[in-house]
Structure 1
């Protein structure tokens, strides 16, 4: 558990966060909160009518004198109820639901703009918790809690002010007792705030652990590690339980003190009133009215600080929402440009990932001609994937520039840039939707016939036709109902349908069996015709026919050329080739492990 002490947001800033969170409905929310305060004040005036009402009825029942006060109290109560009903119309009339929907939509749009390098550092469960839990915690309980707090604070103060007119001593005692809530609340709020923020962080981590465990179950079962990973997940649950337990234990005594202080304050009012009555300086009817009023306030006063805990839950949620929305997108040059040709140039590119000391790319230069096939080879961690990520603008280089057709990437609008590039990853991600929808997502306006044409070109129409519902068959979570080769061909069909002029292939046949590899390779041949193609390759035999091969080593371009020229140079590429060829010559000849 982290030992860092989260800072507590001042109430003024929490108010500003709430108004920002309400977006275009902030004026209505502000009016609702003010109306709740007015309703509480009117309710205080209504309750104050009990003092002259009791004086009319005690000791002799003067109903003629009491009736006007009874009617006034009833009218004021109705007015208070009407104002409160209008104020909480923010909930009843759908403003809260519309606001949470708008916030989720806004954060969804923000996810599209966030540099993917930063998003990759966030766990999926944490983002999910922000989009779902934190948004719901933003405004859903605000008006209910605000009404309770106003009733516990404003209403008693109004009664006390009116009591000054009837008996200044009792009014003054009430004015000294009720404002005790403010210093008591200020005393407890930092602890509540820290607890709520720690609890929110723990809930986010637990959400991520659950999502990761659920998605990884097939791998965990295959590796017989379900118990070990479950132990890690249980550790997260125990940490969450520990934080909740500490919060309860540390809050028990202060909460008891708060309740006791307020109860003693109420008893002080009663004791003082009785003393004044015995002395003959206070009307017993007025004391009876004050006792009824004070008893009515005792519970809200004692639990006021507990209501305020919800404000700290909201503050923690608003902080996480603000943190996500405050991430700035990559800068966009204006006016935007669009390339006429599709050669790619890397010029003096330096790049380092956030929170890393060593550079991933250093002074990287490369020219990839249009309508050519360029292969990127090199050891793991050399920077091959980083090169393609920078081309897709997951991040910007710290130095140098990258151009397509002479146009720098930051001059191309993100949607336009995404439209220029198709990617076939080694690990294909399919959504739990129909095969038709998974292919069509590359071009949402494509007809069923165009989707089928792309599927035929990708050599996947045959296996799709054998499925129970054909193109309407759902592929399962992450495409789990399909084999690796089938998923790859669906991914290639998606890329064919997109018809982008630049294609990136991240070793798409590396993990496939021979039959699937042949089918996928045929699909790739259909995809790469007349396009600028970049292939990340580990098996050098698959890229021997490339127009050029870039050998990447420690973030720099070590060699560049065609296969036969690189072999003749007897450099890094030749050594990699010889090593792979020597491995192919090894084969097992018996179950005893004898090799030749």
Structure 2
């Protein structure tokens, strides 16, 4: 990355006042205690500065005036100040030690989890799982767990030298001036470097999130990649992600090398200047040699914190970047709940001139859809890939709201139905079933946690699950592995159908549940579906038209519009998209049989 610059379009550092506000919001109810802890660190740094300044009168009294009682008195003052500084710092960092910071971190994670439950699912789908994992784990830790430690180091780098110099001004203006001659040069250097540091840390944070997402995706997809002989190819993509992360890190170190060198040089030159001026003052008889010796002791103690000040502030920029990412996620508003709240009078569904476009899409996914799905009917959505079938189902599930028009259930606008009531009315059997690394019993009972064991077993029986559950090593108590990896595709589908049966919701959406199954699994899943569709309003997203020939109505979707609507026989009786699709599938089946 030699010769490249950090992209100017990246967001720069957050204002310190805004960062402080975000930090207080993060710790919530512990904000007053955090403020007290930070004041304690400030007090500790100031007391440490006074203690260092007290070294000067100790040495002057002992080695210049031979005033041993005075030296002991100042030594006692120095010791008391040091003990007080240590006590104040220990008390302040008790915010970490007594678990308050860990508790605050826990609450931030709970807030992020609650936000992910509340935010529109379409917006959640725009974040990769690894990125969210990085935000909930790494960013929260960066946000809180190191805050007081870094602030303590920064205060020692800034407040302690400033207080030491000001205190020495009272003793001898020349001594105070010599200490303060180095300190003011640090702040302009920090202001000069802060925008670049802020952009760099944000770019680095984004690269870390990308790497986390790619690692998780590669790990989860490894069985598929191995089967497709693509493990090495995808590993190459992962390696490119790691290489990009390495380049950003190297670039950041190289860009920081000169500023860090400049800061260190300024500090060292300041110390040399201080020594030279001190010697000049001693030779001119304007300063005691003992005082110069004390200044050298003080400067040796302060030189390292001053020289590493920029490094500490770079870590502070990481904290600010993490706070910004957390704030951005928490700022996403949930879908509006319109008032007054309404309860659906029945389970019929109605689309009224509904249009919807995904964020960033060139064209709308749905265009002025008008469609009625009667209560207790079986309605099939068919059409080519990308026509809008799944979008129709997602809008019923209220993953998002249409930008125009509305959707009603039982005469009530979805936006007026309370979320809990809407969720209670809907069951979904997805094409891609997600099972959790928990027992069979827990995965099915998830649909209704208060269900009895007998009810869970009955739902599993109706969903044709008992035969394979009994073959599992621990039966109902067998953990199913990550994403249900212990089961086949057909078995996972039947577990999903058992969930739907157990929930017993009046509206059921089936998203191509048999599209990727073999013949035997498809028959078993179809028998399970036959059990679950009775006495419900059912919507089926179908690819194979033969599976929905008995539907009460078939909606043919193309380019975001419902272009045909009717029964199987009625649609075949007239030219149109449906008949063309049927004839194409029939020809493919005949050709396949001949082959």
RMSD of aligned Cα (Å): 1.5
Could you tell me which of 425, 441, 445 is aligned with 2:446? 441
The farther-off stretch of 383-392 and 181-190 is 181-190
Counterpart of 1:204?
209
Distance in 1 between residues matched to 2:387 and 2:544, nearest whole Å: 16
1:197–1:313 CA contact under 8 A, matched in 2: yes
Matches within 5 A, 1:231-310: 231-310=236-315
CA drift at 1:233: 0.8
Q: Confirm or deny: 8 A CA contact 2:179 2:299 kept in the other structure.
A: no
1:338 to 332, 335, 343: 343
3-state SS of 2:362 partner: coil
SS in 2 for 1:338: coil
Conserved in 1, the CA contact under 8 Å of 2:181 and 2:270?
no
The answer to whether structure 1 residue 32 and structure 2 residue 17 are counterparts is no
What secondary structure sits across from 1:357 in the alignment?
Answer: coil
Within a 5 Å distance, the mapping from 1:17-166 to structure 2 comes to 17-59=22-64, 61-166=66-171
Q: Which residue of 1 aligns with 2:573?
A: 568
3-state SS, counterpart of residue 586 of structure 1:
helix
The structural deviation recorded for 1:60 is 5.4
Cα offsets for 1:66-121 (capped at 9, x unmatched)? 22212211111111111111111110011110111111110001001111111112
Tell me the equivalent position of 2:419.
414
Match of 1:371 in 2: 376
Whole-Å separation in 1 of the counterparts to 2:309 and 2:250: 22
For residues 572-593 of structure 1, give each alpha carbon's deviation from its aligned partner in whole angstroms, at most 9, with x where no partner exists.
222222222222222355xxxx
Q: Give the Cα separation in 1 of the matches to 2:259 and 2:24.
A: 31
Cα distance in 2, alignment partners of residues 225 and 512 from structure 1: 23
Whole-angstrom CA distance in 2 between matches of 1:139 and 1:376: 49
Find 2:533's aligned residue among 528, 537, 560: 528
Q: Counterpart of 1:450?
A: 455
When normalised by structure 1's length, the TM-score is 0.96
Runs of 4+ in 1 over 4 A off after TM superposition: none
Q: Does 1:578 align with 2:583?
A: yes
Partners of 1:499 and 1:423 lie apart in 2 by 11
Q: Tell me by how many angstroms 1:429 deviates.
A: 1.2
Q: Which runs of 5+ in 2 are unaligned?
A: none
CA deviation after TM superposition for structure 1 residue 470, in Å: 0.6
1:587 aligns with 2:592: yes
Report if the CA contact (8 A) 2:41-2:152 is conserved.
yes
* Structure 1 unaligned residues grouped into runs of 5+: 590-594
**Residues 420-499 of structure 1 mapped to structure 2, 5 A cutoff:** 420-499=425-504
- Residues in 2 aligned to 1:282 and 1:235: alpha-carbon distance in whole angstroms: 62
Deviates more, 1:490-499 or 1:29-38: 29-38
Q: Does the aligned pair in 2 maintain the 1:423–1:503 contact within 8 Å? A: yes
Check whether the contact 2:463–2:527 (CA below 8 A) recurs between aligned residues.
yes
Is the 1:170–1:269 Cα contact (8 Å) retained in structure 2? no
| Structure-2-length-normalised TM-score | 0.97
1:102-142 Cα shifts (integer Å, max 9, x gaps):
11110001001111111112111111111111000001111
User: Would you say how many aligned residue pairs link Structure 1 and Structure 2?
Assistant: 590
Within 2, Cα distance between the matches of 1:215 and 1:299?
46
SS in 2 for 1:184: helix
Write out per-residue CA displacement over residues 430-458 of structure 1, whole angstroms, 9 at most, x where no aligned residue.
11111111111111111222111110111
Contact 2:64 / 2:288 at 8 angstroms: preserved in 1?
Answer: no
